[in-house]
Amino acid sequence: MELPPRPKLFDFHGVSMTHYFTDNWENIQNFQARPDDILIATYPKAGTTWVSYILDLLYFGQTAPERQTSLPIYERVPFLESDFHILPPGTELADKLSTSPRLKTHLPVQLVPKSFWEQNCRIVYVARNAKDNEVSYFHFDRMNQAHPEPGDWNNFLQRFMDGKMVFGSWYDHVTGWWERKQTHSKLHYVFYEDMVEVSRTTSCAIKVLTSLQIM
């Protein structure tokens, strides 16, 4: 089967995006967060799936262990802004969860639905070293059909430094969330490298977050 063409980048409210993350925009912005929601926020390739698994185990590992084998991670921790057309949009998946949803997003802080701030939700933001983040992003984009063609390394490096990536500039993303941390007491700002260091000294994945005083 022939794959659809790679999407093109375009400017969306000052942030480079592709249509897979903007086609459902009205529903994204009108999404109603719940007071006990936990939002996982990262720049792409900064530990999103890792933290998603940890939080899901932390909250449901004992009470509903069947979740680990009966539901894929994208249903347990929906990707808020995703609309890939072969699956229900992330907002729809989140609304269907009987438990309070554990959501993930790559949106820069200024584009996050206002209901998360109004409900004073807990947020876990993970920041990763720019160099490692970029290398991971490059290899991810080589296989990810929802992003533009990465081109060669030199071209990709220049785009990364210029902020011409899906979800925009790495620098703007990590600094924007850091600044919001100063006014939102329930925003826990975590460094990927600290999580790696903690994971080396414990055999329990859940302790990675609890030892960093996130939960």
- Residue 32, beta-bridge partner list: none
Q: How far apart are CA 209 and CA 215, in angstroms?
A: 7
Look at strands 102-105 and 122-127 and give their pairing: unpaired
Q: Are 148 and 7 in contact (CB under 8 A)?
A: yes
| Catalytic residue list contains 173 | no
Q: How far is CA 56 from CA 135, 145, 203, in A?
A: 27, 27, 17
**Structure-derived torsion over alpha carbons of residues 77, 55, 71, 66, reported in degrees to the nearest 10:** -160
Q: Find the catalytic residue in 13, 85, 106, 147.
A: 106
User: CB neighbours of 89 closer than 8 A, spacing ≥ 6?
Assistant: 24, 27, 82, 83
Active site residues: 106
